[in-house]
Structure 1
């Protein structure tokens, strides 16, 4: 293999640039040419492809977002769109592709793999919802962004003696809500992977008030419902004065943490190693702090699992 490509797709996540940098420099170190595909699968179909040099990825390891830009592409979900993409890759002599992104990006890589084009997936999403890896690139940074917001909101919640409801991202996964809620000392955490009991939540809040607690923080994962919707239900049930904070896209931006930079560098470099050995149709990940790779088609047939023991712990510690 002499030429490889790299693209980022779907929602951006902090650390994507570090992963792109690792792919480019690992490839050049091994005497491969590297081509950046701009604007995700849209750019692949339209041929927005440029050769990358060492300097192309200089001073990006600390930047959030993605220098290759990203976009969602409905056309690539069709066989015709996928074949257009492969034609563009062949036109530039690209023999393998590293795809950095989340679930939708992996599905695109899976489609290319099924058409016989070697792809390796690198998990880049703040949702931490990719099967086969303990952590995804961007999760740790987003987590710390949420925790910082919780700490600030708790200050005002204390001052005004109110219950604050904080809606966090995560799509259909509750990892961001669970980890931030546990780290931020939230009184209640709602995740899509488990049902919630409004009577139990009301009782816990009332019990806290009876012992003199004057404020509470409730974390709601967007996969459960909106923060405003939950606030309405809670006010009707418990007659509480609540305020809602929807953190939104602030969770996707910002300088990646050291943990995300290192993870992205390790995973990006490993993806190149797999392509050099002509091993396509794989996805890379980290399990128990060791790099792993697995069949990308099989991985997408599995579902992400949350740590319910940690969820139960959060309930025990918030009594």
Structure 2
């Protein structure tokens, strides 16, 4: 018989992403709608271990749907990676009479939830919150759309300078293991080349492509690089190589860094967060557990946490072809 859910906790874990606050708001208000209590856990799993809890109601989440970051704070907990740490967390949840929790985060956060569920049979649900969009079982993760718009805005401004001074700019964006941001933002911003971890362009081919661009009359160029691309040890080494082989180019590097994570979430991310939060709470109330809520074909779906963690997200081959055609 499924456990009766009367008190649901919510936490954010791992790197922050725009839309996390909107998801917290959705979880809290869905609990209020169904007349159950909601508990906020500060500082992710570390806060769970330390019992850093607060009761939350509809008014405690007013005016946060438009804010980036997370009001519950986020942290990575090494202690939660140990059996002893998870036992402490379980004891705190039981003491607070919490019946299940919703974790908003990425694959590392989901791994912790999945192990916790396996050890203690404790009801858990996951909401994908990461700008990298690298979680299996959903077409979009919270913050991805906002991050894309932020990157596009930055590249548009960089292009003004590139055109004014006839420069080549290497723009590094986030994406340690996945090139979704680089590929989509590169196409959207009209980049001449896009370098992603999934595709090895190679140094010689990059130089040849830039040489052709110069011969075709392009006086300035933008190359978007995912931070996980393996073409060079880092973007600055790549800059030195291109300058040595193409002295006619004046090369500059811009690393966008953490500005991609911040800022007010887009309308898409706010609506997505609201839909996923409702589904997460109502799934717990229906007796479901150990799932991630996601979006596929504009429908809210459930994917087993283990599958979400281990499943491989593939780069869109059609977009790769589009980027090749657009770079002519």
TM-score range, shorter chain: over 0.9
Partner of 1:164: 169
Q: Which residue of the other structure, out of 220, 244, 259, is the alignment partner of 1:236?
A: 244
Gaps of 5+ in 2: none
Q: Secondary structure at the match of 2:303?
A: strand
Partner of 1:108: 112
Mapped partners of 1:184, 1:210: distance in 2: 22
TM-score by length of 2: 0.95
Aligned length: 319
Partner of 1:204: 209
Mapped partners of 1:197, 1:43: distance in 2: 45
Partner of 2:285: 276
Q: State the shift of 1:19 in Å.
A: 0.3
Partner of 1:82: 86
Contact 1:82 1:111 in 2 (8 A): no
Partner of 2:55: 51
Partner of 2:218: 213
What per-residue deviation string (whole Å, max 9, x for no partner) do you get for residues 47-95 of structure 1? Answer: 1011101111010000000000001111111122112111111110111
Are 1:127 and 2:127 matched, yes or no? no
Mapped partners of 2:42, 2:210: distance in 1: 49
Contact 1:6 1:23 in 2 (8 A): yes
Alignment root-mean-square deviation, CA: 1.1
What per-residue deviation string (whole Å, max 9, x for no partner) do you get for residues 86-126 of structure 1? Answer: 11111101111100011111111111111211110000010
Point out the more displaced range, 233-242 or 166-175: 233-242
Q: State the shift of 1:204 in Å.
A: 1.7
Q: Secondary structure at the match of 2:10?
A: strand
Are 1:306 and 2:306 matched, yes or no? no
Partner of 1:6: 10
Structure-to-structure mapping, 1:261-272, within 5 angstroms: 261-272=270-281
